[in-house]
Chain A
């Protein structure tokens, strides 16, 4: 089970990292989703892996699973779910307004489009 879980986390992280380094926002959104899945699995494993054990104190039970990572994963799932929705909306807005869905800033963010007399050549 350790091998299965760790290889799943590793593969999700690798795929997610590759995807968030892409230039199109769709791939980036997929990448962050995969990364958050990987992290959820990882958080789950931080309470040590045990099979079929209760998380809450019961009489006659000596071995438990750690409930805190499960609570953390729940929180993380909710947050990442909401964040993915926000990202998709923002990416869609940028796509509709900006005309393409690249995540890097266009040149017009750094220098003016029309070259009047600007800072570079202000010596008459």
Chain B
């Protein structure tokens, strides 16, 4: 048993606790410890990838209890990849948070950041359904704190909406787990898979209910239409770096769908049809809503949020096929959409820091217009999936994998048409913000009397609104730009090394579609356990 498997959970937990207990008042110490914690996490994640690349499923039994009774962590290629992706993203975005000065805007940014990483990594590593719920709660609780970092009425209101929506989601998660436990009598994923496989087809009504309930929960996390309503306001109002980190949070939902519906409920068992029939239409609608939202919105923050929804749509089209080839495409697209989505949120935040707000309207030329517009241009190309970046390759892989599906016409039409809509939306936003600003003459705006304050319990606000990060407050705009450059470099690397990455993704998909490896590793090879 290799103890390094639990390091991605323990390390951020210890770091978060240290930060909150010992260096609460010292931002510099917090920054040093937090970034070195994330760098260490990245190193551990790369080592885990090396371990997982043997194709073996490594199992960590907590307390060395035998499998269906104790909690297990499982490390396969997919979970190792997701942990590495999370760590790499967190590292780059954290640099942005230093550079833009966002982490100075309120208390406990770094502690919450570490707890967030703990929850996300734990969710990727766990092999126990109830433990997955616990890690979901950890990442959600940390995300509530991060989301309202910096305060301000709009952000708090969006936070309340977010928390209410996710509380309902957690309740649903518990209900799904209760149903599955009542039917199978176990919560260990591998054990559950073994029992589901043995279940006679006529006794599966309750099981199918549980499977669909569980899918609803993961669809909320992944923000699939029609369960996406929490996302636009949340992501648009959260601080830029936090929204960028949240780019991996929707992928937790996608990961859980991939994990559960390949391992526990494979498509050739009783669940066949139920999930697929629901997932594909939802994915197509998600794609349409996301891309139309890019065109329809009047705010850059919401534009990035709708781009995130659109990328989930493309991703879920691939996932809903449940063939090894489509899963390969999905895994490639997960890496791409996480990096590109995060980069877009960061660029939007940079624009907000220079313009003062994020509304899509004519305004004067902002400082650093050239650099920011180049970054926006590159990111937008990556997000909408035009060549030369990895979004194009990802979409090609998805289209290629669905070529022989019965619904291929629907999928191809939707993907291609909505890409056009997204390109149009992005170019409209870019040209309005960057090009047309040179034509802008500052016509005297009629000064409106300030709107009368709403009758609230406190007549004056305690602190000024800090909705948008202010450029003057940034510690180092160069570091912030470099962090975005780091993410873009990741996208470029993903494009150049598309061959090896696709081969790795294909090996991952093959492993995922062979559940017997997991059953063998978790349930059979248990020598030396209690």
> Do A and B assemble together?
yes
Kindly provide the distance from the CB of B456 to the nearest chain A CB, expressed in whole angstroms: 4
Q: Is A58 an interface residue (CB 8 A)?
A: no
Contact A82 B361, CB 8 Å, known A43-B178, A93-B156, A109-B236: no
Nearest CB on B from A76, distance (A): 6
| Contact call A32/B187, Cβ cutoff below 8 A | no
- Picked from A47, A95, A105, the residue with its CB within 8 Å of the CB of B158 is A105
The binding surface of chain A is classed by DSSP as: helix
Is B171 touching A39 in the complex (CB atoms < 8 A)? yes
In the assembled complex, how far is the CB of residue B403 from the closest CB belonging to chain A, in whole angstroms? Answer: 38
- Using A69-B181, A119-B298, A119-B360 as known contacts, say yes or no to A97 and B151 having CB atoms under 8 A apart: yes
Rounded to whole angstroms, the CA-CA distance of A4 and B488 in the bound complex is 59
Q: Let me know if B357 is at the binding interface, CB within 8 A.
A: yes
Per-position 1/0 for B459-473, Cβ under 8 A of A:
001000000000000
B157, B302, B428, B453, most chain A CB atoms within 10 A: B157
The range of chain B's interface size is 35 or more
A105's partner among B157, B171, B298 (CB-CB below 8 A) is B157
Chain B residues, Cβ within 8 Å of A82: 141
CB of A112 within 8 A of CB of B361, answer yes
B137 within 8 A of A: yes
Known: A39-B174, A90-B148. A83 touches B141 (CB 8 A): yes
Q: Which residues of B contact A116 (CB under 8 A)?
A: 361-362, 445
- When distances are taken between beta carbons in the complex, the residues of chain A under 8 Å from B359 are 111-112, 118-119
Give the shortest distance, in Å, between B11 (CB) and chain A (any CB). Answer: 23
A106 interface residue per 8 A CB criterion: yes
- Cβ-defined contact, A109 with B158, below 8 A: yes
A42 and B163 contact, CB distance less than 8 A: no
User: How many residues in A have their beta carbons less than 8 Å from beta carbons of B?
Assistant: 51
What A residues does B233 contact at CB under 8 A? 105, 109
- Closest-CB distance, B158 to chain A (whole angstroms): 6
Asked if residues A86 and B461 are in contact (CB atoms below 8 Å), the reply is no
How far is A86 from B181 in the complex, measured between Cα atoms in Å?
29
Instruction: Please name the residue on chain B nearest to A25 by beta carbon.
Output: B160
The reply to whether A87 and B167 form a contact with Cβ atoms under 8 Å apart is: yes
Interface membership of B154, Cβ < 8 A: yes
- The answer, yes or no, to whether B455 is at the interface (CB within 8 Å) is yes
Contact partners of A104 in chain B: CB under 8 A = 161
Majority secondary structure, B binding face? helix
Q: Mark A98-113, 1 if CB is under 8 A from B, else 0.
A: 1110111110111111
A118/B360 contact (C-beta < 8 A), A28-B164, A43-B178, A90-B144 known: yes
Residue of A nearest to B145 (CB): A86
Query: How long is the Cα–Cα vector from A95 to B456 in the complex, in angstroms?
Result: 8
State whether the Cβ of B525 lies closer than 8 Å to any Cβ in chain A: no
A120 to chain B, nearest CB (A): 8
Q: How far apart are B104's CB and chain A's nearest CB, in angstroms?
A: 20
Q: Which residue of B lies closest to A82 (CB)?
A: B141
Does chain B have a CB within 8 A of A117? yes
A98 near B362 with CB under 8 A, answer no
Interface residues of A in 69-86 (CB under 8 A from B): 69, 72, 75-76, 79-80, 82-83, 86
* A59 contacts across to B, CB distance below 8 A: none
A57 CB-CB contact with B under 8 Å: no
Return the chain A residue nearest B454 by Cβ.
A99
Are A99 and B171 neighbours in the complex by a CB distance under 8 Å? no
Q: Does A122 count as interface, using CB distance less than 8 angstroms?
A: yes
In Å, the complex CA distance between A108 and B465 comes to 14
From B453, which residue of chain A is reached at the shortest CB distance?
Answer: A99
Given A93-B156, A119-B360: A113 and B164 interface contact (C-beta under 8 Å) = no
Bound together, the chains give a CA A102 to CA B158 distance in angstroms of 11
Question: Within 8 Å of chain A (Cβ to Cβ): is B458?
Answer: yes
Whether a CB of chain B sits under 8 angstroms from the CB of A114 is yes
User: Which residue in B134, B161, B175, B448 is a CB contact (below 8 Å) of A103?
Assistant: B161
Q: Indicate with 1 or 0, residue by residue over A13-33, a CB within 8 angstroms of chain B CB atoms.
A: 000000010000100100010
Complex alpha-carbon distance, A94 and B302, angstroms = 20
Q: What is the minimal beta-carbon distance from B105 to any residue of chain A, in angstroms?
A: 15
Check A20/B164 contact, CB under 8 A, given A79-B137, A110-B302, A117-B362: yes
**Contact A99:B153 (CB < 8 A) given known A32-B168, A87-B167, A114-B448:** yes
Tell me which residues across on chain A come within 8 A of B141, comparing CB atoms: 82-83, 86
B174 touches A118 (CB 8 A): no
- Does the CB pair A39–B178 fall under 8 Å? yes
Give CA–CA (A58, B148) in the complex, Å. Answer: 51
Other A-B pairs, 19, CB within 8 Å; known A80-B170, A102-B157: A20-B168, A25-B160, A32-B171, A39-B175, A42-B174, A46-B181, A47-B181, A68-B181, A86-B141, A86-B163, A90-B160, A96-B458, A97-B152, A97-B156, A98-B456, A99-B456, A103-B161, A105-B157, A116-B445
**Which 6 pairs of residues, A with B, have the shortest CB-CB distance?**
A99-B454, A118-B361, A99-B456, A98-B153, A46-B182, A94-B156
Q: What are 28 A-B contacts with C-beta separation under 8 Å? A: A20-B164, A32-B167, A32-B168, A39-B175, A42-B174, A45-B182, A68-B187, A69-B181, A72-B130, A86-B141, A90-B163, A91-B160, A94-B156, A99-B455, A103-B157, A103-B160, A105-B161, A109-B157, A109-B236, A110-B299, A111-B299, A114-B445, A114-B448, A118-B359, A118-B360, A118-B361, A118-B362, A122-B361
* Interfacial residues, chain A to chain B (CB-CB below 8 A): 20, 25, 28, 32, 35-36, 39, 42-43, 45-47, 68-69, 72, 75-76, 79-80, 82-83, 86-87, 90-91, 93-100, 102-106, 108-114, 116-120, 122
